[in-house]
Amino acid sequence: MDMKRAFYIGRFQPFHLGHYSVITSIAKEVDELIIGIGSAQRTHESNNPFTAGERVMMIRHALEDIDVHFYALPIDDIQQNPIWVSYVTSRTPPFDTAYTNNPLVIELFEEAGISVKQPPMYHREQHSGTEIRRRMLADEEWKHLVPDAVADVIDEIDGVRRLKRVSGTDGFDY
């Protein structure tokens, strides 16, 4: 029997119910899933408040109930599109298919001869890291947009306070 292994990349800043929905749909089609944590080196910024390790925790805890073997692996940005796919494949187990909706990533994988599938988006207007971070900064409700386990990780690391501090919206003049 051939093992079907796929790759799915995102920044997961934070991991939310849209990601969860995409991953549960991919899980029905594959035996193993490699989850690439993109921009892994970026942290403590308004668009990238969480570390790669914190995002690994979010994914690990959020997917405890999912019926697929998965790896969550940090992938740094290398700023060299022509060699990006080689860079990814040198850091991951081999995979047959990449799942993404990012036009650049689709192009790079297709140019490298790797099959690409575009997963359905799940309530994209609400389930986006940008919207969730905006809500955190505005003290609006956001926890219903992420798995409970992710809200727990963000609380554990005091992530909302960090986001406010690195965004300069915590009311303090540094």
Specify whether the CB–CB gap between 55 and 15 falls below 8 A: yes
Residue 89's pLDDT band (cuts 50, 70, 90)? very high
The mean per-residue pLDDT over the stretch 149-159 comes to: 98
Alpha carbon distance 113, 118 (integer Å): 16
| Range scoring the smallest mean pLDDT among 4-13, 104-113, 114-123, 127-136 | 114-123
Structural domain contains residue 45: yes
- CATH value at residue 115: 3.40.50.620
Alpha carbon distance 162, 170 (integer Å): 9
Structural domain count, the chain: 1
Structural domain contains residue 10: yes
- Cis ω before 74 (30° cut-off from 0): no
Structure confidence by residue, pLDDT tens digits, 20-77: 999 999 999 999 999 999 999 999 999 999 999 999 999 999 999 998 999 999 999 9
Strand 5-10 with 115-117, pairing: unpaired
Burial 26-39 (b: 16+ CB within 10 A, else e): bbeebeebbbbbbb
Query: Is the four-CA dihedral 144, 145, 148, 153 of positive or negative sign?
Result: negative
Residue type, 52: A
Structural domain contains residue 11: yes
Structural domain contains residue 172: no
Residue 123's pLDDT band (cuts 50, 70, 90)? low
What is the predicted pLDDT for the residue at 169? 73
Structural domain contains residue 37: yes
What is the predicted pLDDT for the residue at 168? 87
Give, in degrees to the nearest 5, the angle at Cα 116 between 112 and 118.
Answer: 150
Structural domain contains residue 173: no
Residue 81's domain comprises 5-167
